[in-house]
């Protein structure tokens, strides 16, 4: 048997409080915990505009908000009284090192642990599109630029021409049309940046040519916390697990594939069953020779639709 154990916090969505805080979601953090936060919910009132504004107000990305709320669609009307889950309970992809940026592209989140204040900052991010994946691995910050000029990479220009934009500018000065926004952080993985955006509705989706982008208010905060040479690590971890008080929590995302050919060959059922087998082998008394298929089937059925928050597994 499996059920979701949640701690609910009631929030009233009001236009007056929209974007009132520029901060990311911030958690007290001891440098060791593997799960932070609570699953919250909001009750929509008549002043809430749309799903994108709701995601931004509560510091979550668009994809995460939609997967946490399967009753919503892109065209849903946010009618007063509608309850919306806010997926702000998070299993960390790994132990967060002090004063290090960690990005998990599978969940489209960026983590920064400030060990001086013992606070963990969690930001929703946009990541690279299929065929334009974000780079993985360890790197560092090489440069910070405020109100940056964008020298458009050759690959972006070539893609624009393929899509019919033959007059795409090669240089974009600071301003409202510059997709880098007002803050750009250069990475040692050449041509890749962490930057703002001129279209906040895209945060929490696959929308870039490999860069990591954030809400304007979030990148402004992060920009002030990081320095040149700050370590950065980008991972692709769609399955996260942790035990707390004897209960196993599982947070799973649809694997973020890098290329169109991978997408065409991807077998979602086989991938899910592989994850479920791994959970049983790592967190139960079963070994690979004695793993009951009925249990694999049952847990696979429960986990087939990722919900972007930790699920409590109470019977393995």
Write out the catalytic residue numbers: 195, 211
Contact 25, 64 (CB under 8 A): no
Torsions phi, psi of 161, nearest 5?
Answer: -65, -40
User: Closest Cα partner for 7 from 32, 37, 27?
Assistant: 37
Under 8 Å between Cβ of 60 and 40: no
- For CA atoms 9, 218, 105, 71, give the dihedral sign: positive
Tokens of residue 40, six digits = 């919250």
If you write DSSP's letter for every residue of 110-174 in order, what string do you get? EEEEETTTTEEEEEE-BEEPTTSPPP-EEEEEEEEEES--EE--HHHHHHHHHTT-TT--SEE-S
- Strand-pair partners of 119: 28, 114
Alpha-carbon distance of 195 to 190, in angstroms, equals 14
Specify whether the CB–CB gap between 125 and 203 falls below 8 A: yes
Which single residue is written with the structure tokens 């668009």?
62
Structure-token match 């953090």, residue found: 29
DSSP 8: -
User: Of 306, 4, 263, 11, which Cα lies nearest the Cα of 131?
Assistant: 263
Q: Quick check: 214 and 222 in contact, CB under 8 A?
A: yes
């Amino acid at each position: 048997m499996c059920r979701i154990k949640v701690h609910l916090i009631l929030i009233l969505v009001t236009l007056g409080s929209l974007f009132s805080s520029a901060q990311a979601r911030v958690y007290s953090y001891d440098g060791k915990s593997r799960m932070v936060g609570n699953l919250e919910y909001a009750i929509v009132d008549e002043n809430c505009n749309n799903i994108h504004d709701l995601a931004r107000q509560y510091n979550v990305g668009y994809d995460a908000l939609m997967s946490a709320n399967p009753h919503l669609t892109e065209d849903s009307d946010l009618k007063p009284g509608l309850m919306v889950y806010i997926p702000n309970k998070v299993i960390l992809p790994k132990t967060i090192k002090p004063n290090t940026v960690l990005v998990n592209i599978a969940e489209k989140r960026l983590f920064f642990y400030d060990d001086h204040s013992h606070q963990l900052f969690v930001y929703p991010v946009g990541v690279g599109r299929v065929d334009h994946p974000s780079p993985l691995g360890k790197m560092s910050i090489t440069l910070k630029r405020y109100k940056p000029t964008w020298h458009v990479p050759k690959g972006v220009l070539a893609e624009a021409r393929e899509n019919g934009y033959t007059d795409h500018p090669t240089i974009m000065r600071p301003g409202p049309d510059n997709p880098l926004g007002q803050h750009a952080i250069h990475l040692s993985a050449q041509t890749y940046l962490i930057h703002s955006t001129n279209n906040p509705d895209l945060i929490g989706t696959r929308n870039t040519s490999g860069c990591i982008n954030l809400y304007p208010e979030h990148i402004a905060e992060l920009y002030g916390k990081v320095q040149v040479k700050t370590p950065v690590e980008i991972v692709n971890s769609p399955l996260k697990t942790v035990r707390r008080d004897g209960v196993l929590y599982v947070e799973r995302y649809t694997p973020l594939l890098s290329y169109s050919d991978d997408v065409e060959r991807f077998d979602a059922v086989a991938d899910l069953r592989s994850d479920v087998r791994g959970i049983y082998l790592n967190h139960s008394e079963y070994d690979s020779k004695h793993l009951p298929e009925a249990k694999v089937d049952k847990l696979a059925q429960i986990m087939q639709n990722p919900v972007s928050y930790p699920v409590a597994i109470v019977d393995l």
